[in-house]
Amino acid sequence: MVDATSPTAGRILEGPRGSKPKSRLSRRNIFLYGTLLLVSIYYLLPLYVMIVTSLKGMPEIRLGNIFAPPVEITFEPWVKAWAEACTGINCDGLSRGFGNSVKILIPSLILSISIASVNGYALANWRFKGSEVFFTILIIGAFIPYQTMLYPIVIILREIGLMGSLWGLVLVHTVFGMPILTLLFRNYFTSLPEELFKAARVDGAGFWGVYFRVMLPMSIPIFVVAMILQVTGIWNDFLFGVIYTKPETYPMTVQLNNIVNSVQGIKEYNVNMAATLLTGLVPLVIYFVSGKLFVRGIAAGAVKG
Amino acid sequence: MKIKAALATTAAFISASALSAADLEVTHWWTSGGEAVAVSEFAKAVNEKTAHNWVDGAIAGSGGTARPIIISRILGGDPMAATQLNHGRQAEELIEAGLMTDLTDLAEAEGWKDFVYPSSLLEGCTYEGRIYCVPVNIHSTQWLWLSHDAFEQAGIEVPKDWFEFVAAAPKLEEAGLVPMAQGQQGWQQAIAFGALSISVVGIDTWSKVVVEKDADVAGGPEYAKVFQASANARELARNSNVQDWNLATNMVITGKAGGQIMGDWAQGEFAVAGQVAGEDYTCLPGLGLNQVIDTGGDAFYFPVVDDPDVKAAQLEMASILISKEAQVAFNLAKGSLPVRGDIDLSTANDCMQKGLAILAAGGVLPNADQTLSADTQTQIKDLMAEFWASDMTAEDAQARYASIIASAD
Amino acid sequence: MNINSHSVEVRDLDLHFGEVKVLQELNIDIHEGEFLVLLGSSGCGKSTLLNCIAGLLDVTDGQIFIKGQNVTWKEPSDRGIGMVFQSYALYPQMTVEGNLSFGLKNARVARDEIAKRVARAAEILQIEPLLKRKPGALSGGQRQRVAIGRALVRDVDVFLFDEPLSNLDAKLRTDLRVELKRLHQQLKNTMIYVTHDQVEAMTLADRIAIMKGGKIMQLGSPDEIYNRPQNIYVAGFIGSPAMNMIEGRIDNGHFAGHDLSLPLDGYEFERTDHHAGPVAIGIRPEHVLTGDAVETAAAQAEVEVQIVEKLGSDTLVHSTLGSLNLRFRMDGLSRVTEGDRLRIGFDTSRASLFDAVTETRL
Amino acid sequence: MTLADTARVSDNPVRRPKQLFRNLSAKFASIPMILTALVVFVGGTAWTVAHSFTKSRLLPKWDFVGLDQYERLWNSNRWIISVENLLIYGVCSLVLTMVLGFTLAALLDRKIRFEGAFRTIFLYPFALSFIVTGLAWQWILNPDFGIQGVVRNMGWESFTFDPLNDPDIVIFGILIAGLWQGTGFVMVIMLAGLRGIDEDIWKAARVDGIGITKTYVRVIIPMMRPVFVTALVIIASGIIKLYDLVVAQTNGGPGIASEVPAKYVINYMFEAQNLAQGFAASTMMLLSVIIVLVPWAYLEFGGKKRG
Of A97-106, B61-70, D199-208, the poorest mean pLDDT is in B61-70
Strand order from edge to edge, sheet including C299-310: C288-289, C341-346, C299-310, C314-321, C324-331
- Do B180 and B233 form a contact (C-beta atoms < 8 A)? yes
CA distance B20 to chain D (A): 34
Share of chain C above pLDDT 70, in %: 98
CA dihedral sign of residues D8, D11, D13, D14: negative
Mean pLDDT of D277-304: 77
**Average pLDDT, rounded, for chain A:** 80
Tell which residue, D219, D188, D236, D223, has the closest CA to residue D86. Answer: D236
Of A139-148, A154-163, D58-67, the poorest mean pLDDT is in A139-148
Residue of D nearest to C27 (CA): D1
CA distance A89 to chain D (A): 24
B320 plus B368 within the same structural domain: no
- Do B398 and B235 form a contact (C-beta atoms < 8 A)? no
Burial of D291 (0-12, 13-18, 19+ CB in 10 A): exposed
Q: How many CB atoms lie within 10 A of CB B344?
A: 8
Q: Tell me, what CATH number does B94's domain have? A: 3.40.190.10
What pLDDT does B302 receive? 93
What pLDDT does A220 receive? 87
Give domain status of residue B358, yes or no: no
B35 plus B147 within the same structural domain: no
How many independent structural domains does chain B possess? 2
Q: What is the pLDDT of residues B124-159, one digit of tens each?
A: 888 888 999 998 888 888 899 999 999 999 889 899
Contact yes or no for C73 and D16 at CB 8 A: yes
Of B25-39, D130-144, D227-241, D284-298, the poorest mean pLDDT is in D284-298
Q: What is the pLDDT of residues A264-295, one digit of tens each?
A: 556 778 888 888 888 888 888 888 888 778 87
D226 pLDDT band, cuts 50/70/90, is: confident
B230 pLDDT band, cuts 50/70/90, is: very high
- Do B54 and B271 form a contact (C-beta atoms < 8 A)? no
Q: Which residues contact D50 (CB under 8 A, 6 or more apart)?
A: none
Domain, as residue range, for B339? 2-11+22-139+296-348
B32 pLDDT band, cuts 50/70/90, is: confident
Q: List chain D residues with CB under 8 Å of C72.
A: 14, 16
User: Could you tell me which chains touch chain B, where touching means 3 or more CB pairs under 8 A?
Assistant: A, D
- Do A302 and A106 form a contact (C-beta atoms < 8 A)? no
Of A122-136, B59-73, C139-153, C180-194, the poorest mean pLDDT is in B59-73
Q: List chain D residues with CB under 8 Å of C73.
A: 14, 16-17
Q: Which residues contact C162 (CB under 8 A, 6 or more apart)?
A: A195, C47, C50, C51, C83, C84, C85, C86, C194
What pLDDT does B35 receive? 80
Sorted by where each starts, the structural domains of chain A and their CATH numbers stand as 11-84 (no CATH), 95-302 (1.10.3720.10)
Q: How far apart are CA D69 and CA D279, in angstroms?
A: 9
Q: How far apart are CA D198 and CA A64, in angstroms?
A: 52
B332 pLDDT band, cuts 50/70/90, is: confident
Mean pLDDT of B221-233: 91
Any alpha helices (H) in B291-335, and if so which ranges? 308-321, 324-334
**Half-sphere CA count of C76, side-chain side, radius 13 A:** 29
Q: List chain B residues with CB under 8 Å of D144.
A: 241
Mean pLDDT of D212-220: 85
Looking at per-residue pLDDT, the higher value among D208 and B262 belongs to B262
What pLDDT does D179 receive? 93
B38 plus B121 within the same structural domain: yes
Share of chain B above pLDDT 90, in %: 22
B202 plus B275 within the same structural domain: yes
B187 plus B273 within the same structural domain: yes
Q: How many helices (H) and strands (E) does chain C have?
A: 8, 20
Any alpha helices (H) in chain A, and if so which ranges? 27-54, 58-62, 76-79, 95-125, 131-141, 150-159, 166-191, 194-202, 207-209, 220-236, 239-243, 252-261, 269-297
- Do D44 and D51 form a contact (C-beta atoms < 8 A)? no
Burial of B365 (0-12, 13-18, 19+ CB in 10 A): buried
Residue of C nearest to D305 (CA): C17
Q: Residues 20..79 of A with a Cβ closer than 8 Å to D: which?
A: 20, 32-33, 35-36, 39-40, 42-47, 49-50, 53, 61, 64-67
Any alpha helices (H) in chain D, and if so which ranges? 3-11, 24-29, 31-35, 44-51, 68-75, 77-108, 115-123, 130-140, 147-153, 170-195, 199-207, 212-214, 221-223, 225-240, 244-249, 261-266, 275-297
What pLDDT does A11 receive? 33
B316 plus B228 within the same structural domain: no
Give domain status of residue B395, yes or no: yes
Q: How many CB atoms lie within 10 A of CB C188?
A: 12
What pLDDT does A91 receive? 73
Q: How far apart are CA A137 and CA D37, in angstroms?
A: 6
Residue D1 has pLDDT above 60, yes or no: no
Q: How many CB atoms lie within 10 A of CB D217?
A: 13
Find the CB nearest D22 among C11, C58, C69.
C58
Mean pLDDT of B222-244: 88
The DSSP element (H or E) to which B190 belongs, if any, is: helix B186-210
Tell which residue, C17, C49, C353, C21, has the closest CA to residue C194. Answer: C49
What pLDDT does D99 receive? 92
- Do A203 and A85 form a contact (C-beta atoms < 8 A)? no
Long-range pairs for A4-7 at CB < 8 Å and ≥24 separation?
A4/A28, A4/D212, A5/D211, A5/D212, A5/D213, A7/D206, A7/D209
Q: How far apart are CA A251 and CA C311, in angstroms?
A: 79
What pLDDT does A122 receive? 92
CA dihedral sign of residues B21, B23, B26, B30: positive
Tell which residue, B74, B21, B78, B29, has the closest CA to residue B46. Answer: B21
A107 pLDDT band, cuts 50/70/90, is: very high
Name the class of domain D52-302.
mainly alpha
Strands B130-131 and B126-127, how do they pair?
antiparallel
Looking at per-residue pLDDT, the higher value among A3 and C236 belongs to C236
Collapsing DSSP to helix, strand or coil, B98 comes out as coil
CA dihedral sign of residues C235, C236, C238, C240: positive
CA distance C83 to chain A (A): 7
Residue B12 has pLDDT above 50, yes or no: no
Contact yes or no for B378 and D274 at CB 8 A: yes
What pLDDT does C191 receive? 93
CA distance D57 to chain B (A): 8
B181 pLDDT band, cuts 50/70/90, is: very high
Give domain status of residue B354, yes or no: no
Sorted by where each starts, the structural domains of chain C and their CATH numbers stand as 3-234 (3.40.50.300), 237-355 (2.40.50.140)
Residue boundaries of the structural domains of chain D = 52-302
Contact yes or no for D9 and C68 at CB 8 A: no
- Do B29 and B58 form a contact (C-beta atoms < 8 A)? yes
Of A215-219, B6-10, B366-370, the poorest mean pLDDT is in B6-10
- Please tell me if residue B68 touches chain D, with a CB cutoff of 8 Å: yes
B188 plus B331 within the same structural domain: no
Mean pLDDT of D14-29: 75
D6 pLDDT band, cuts 50/70/90, is: very low
Phi and psi angles of residue D22, each rounded to the nearest 5 degrees, phi first: -65, 150
**Average pLDDT, rounded, for chain D:** 83
Whether the ipTM is more than 0.85: the answer is: no
What pLDDT does A289 receive? 83
Q: Which residues contact B299 (CB under 8 A, 6 or more apart)?
A: B84, B85, B86, B87, B124, B125, B133, B134, B135, B136
Looking at per-residue pLDDT, the higher value among A16 and C253 belongs to C253
Residue of B nearest to A149 (CA): B72
- Please tell me if residue C245 touches chain A, with a CB cutoff of 8 Å: no
CA distance D95 to chain B (A): 29
Residue C256 has pLDDT above 80, yes or no: yes
Residue C3 has pLDDT above 70, yes or no: no
What pLDDT does A301 receive? 62
- Please tell me if residue B182 touches chain A, with a CB cutoff of 8 Å: no
CA distance D198 to chain C (A): 18
What pLDDT does C206 receive? 93
Residue C271 has pLDDT above 80, yes or no: no
Residue D90 has pLDDT above 90, yes or no: yes
Phi and psi angles of residue A302, each rounded to the nearest 5 degrees, phi first: -65, -20
Q: How many CB atoms lie within 10 A of CB C95?
A: 18
Residue B11 has pLDDT above 50, yes or no: no
What pLDDT does A128 receive? 83
Q: How far apart are CA A222 and CA B307, in angstroms?
A: 46
Q: How far apart are CA B29 and CA B86, in angstroms?
A: 11
What pLDDT does A2 receive? 36
- Please tell me if residue D218 touches chain C, with a CB cutoff of 8 Å: no
Q: What is the pLDDT of residues C160-214, one digit of tens each?
A: 999 988 888 888 888 889 989 999 998 888 999 999 998 999 999 999 999 998 8
Q: What is the pLDDT of residues A210-258, one digit of tens each?
A: 999 899 998 888 898 899 889 988 998 887 887 777 777 788 888 887 7
Contact yes or no for A201 and C76 at CB 8 A: yes
Angle at C174 between CA C168 and CA C175, to 5 degrees: 95
Mean pLDDT of D233-239: 84
Mean pLDDT of A168-195: 89
Residue D180 has pLDDT above 60, yes or no: yes
Tell which residue, C99, C94, D185, B404, has the closest CA to residue A216. Answer: C94
Looking at per-residue pLDDT, the higher value among B294 and D89 belongs to D89
Looking at per-residue pLDDT, the higher value among B346 and A50 belongs to A50
Residue of C nearest to D3 (CA): C1
- Please tell me if residue B382 touches chain D, with a CB cutoff of 8 Å: yes
Residue B266 has pLDDT above 90, yes or no: no
Residue C274 has pLDDT above 80, yes or no: no
Residue B227 has pLDDT above 90, yes or no: yes
**Average pLDDT, rounded, for chain C:** 87
B6 plus B93 within the same structural domain: yes
Residue A129 has pLDDT above 90, yes or no: no
Tell which residue, B161, B121, B166, has the closest CA to residue B297. Answer: B121
B260 plus B386 within the same structural domain: yes
Compute and round to an integer the Cα radius of gyration of chain A. Answer: 25
Mean pLDDT of C303-325: 88
What pLDDT does B301 receive? 92
- Please tell me if residue B24 touches chain A, with a CB cutoff of 8 Å: no
- Do D219 and D210 form a contact (C-beta atoms < 8 A)? yes
Give domain status of residue B401, yes or no: yes
Q: How far apart are CA B49 and CA B53, in angstroms?
A: 10
Of D16-25, D91-100, D178-187, D280-289, the poorest mean pLDDT is in D16-25
Give domain status of residue B325, yes or no: yes
Residue A14 has pLDDT above 50, yes or no: no
